[in-house]
Amino acid sequence: MSSRSTSRPFSHPLRFLPLVGLLLGCAISPPAAAQPCGAQGVALQVLGSGGPELQDKRASSSYLVWDNGRARVLVDAGGGSALRFGESGATMSQLDVLLFTHFHVDHSGDFAALIKSSWFEDRKRPLPIYGPPGNDFMPSTTEFVGDFFGEKHGAYRYLSELLAPGEKGSYKMQPHVVTPGPTPIPVLRSGNLSASAVRVVHGDVPALAWRIEDGGKVIVFSGDTDGEGDGLVRLAANADLFVAHNAVPEGATGVERHLHMPPSVIGQIAEGAKVKRLVLSHRMLRTLGKEDQTQSEIAKRYSGPVAFANDLDCFPMK
Ligand SMILES: [Zn+2]
């Protein structure tokens, strides 16, 4: 996959080991252990760079924020992301918080797998989980977690000890509903980590964009949105890194455009917010292969560096 990037991320070194081994043969000793993402300072790691279609051969939406070797924040947990989470070297015990943008399957499908894995880690402190409210056809964040792990009706109620207050789990999930309007609001602060959110328009699905500040670095996640309104521009103001979803090509119409922002809108938001760096993710079959067109539409509006994300790419903050 060629992706024209004016800014190259550090690809995960382990991905190239088989090729290196093939080229160099077995006569030399293996390279030193790979540096994990975010071993020093703050870094974004893309766990899932794809959309819902499995034929894109990418995990669906999921991102980690690393801080000096510790995975502090997980944003979304789409299908395939639990495997990528393990490959990244992160553990569930490291996480300070799990944030959801919305509950479409490609943003939440591996949630239960991550929680089951955590059961083997003997995590000792609560795991706060923040996400959007519900409506008639989408669960709220507390309903979503309860639908999996609630003690009476949860699909995986055999693990209800990780949610139900009276039961003896090694830790408890603490789901919270975040209900911002079109203006960003602060959601949490813990030491040098804070997060704020704004409501974004994603069809009829309650959806949030997230701004994470860690150690003075700012990473903003658009989630899925058509880009309507100025809330996302305000949330992303002066961000060190803005992760936007490249789910539709320029010229998209109908339902696709109703749910997602085309490259021109991404460029407008990145420029309006004066973000320092743009990362394009949620790449789907309809946008893969159109990187040149996407890049040129964005470049008409935004002059900063742009990168197309692949699974496990690591973006250290300078
Ligand atoms: Zn969605």
Q: Ligand 1: distance of its center to the CA of 225 in Å? A: 8
pLDDT in the model for residue 35:
63
CA 202 – ligand 1 centroid, Å: 7
CA 102 to ligand 1 center in whole angstroms: 7
Question: What mean pLDDT comes out for the span 77-96?
Answer: 98
Give the distance (Å) from ligand 1 centre to CA of residue 77: 12
**14 CA distance to ligand 1 centroid (A)?**
30
Mean pLDDT of 229-236: 96
**222 C-alpha to center of ligand 1: Å?**
11
Instruction: Please give the model's pTM, rounded to 2 decimal places.
Output: 0.89
* Arithmetic mean of pLDDT over the chain: 91
Ligand 1 centroid–CA 46 distance in Å is 17
Q: Residue 122's pLDDT band (boundaries 50, 70, 90)? A: confident
Residue 30 pLDDT > 80: no
Ligand 1 center–CA 78 separation, angstroms = 10
Q: What is the Cα–Cα distance from 90 to 176, expressed in whole angstroms? A: 23
- How remote is the CA of residue 224 from the centroid of ligand 1, in Å? 5
Under the banding of pLDDT at 50, 70 and 90, the label for residue 112 is very high
Rounded to the nearest angstrom, the distance between the alpha carbon of 136 and the centre of ligand 1 is 16
Question: In angstroms, what is the span from residue 88 Cα to ligand 1's centroid?
Answer: 24
**Separation CA 76–CA 100 (nearest Å):** 5
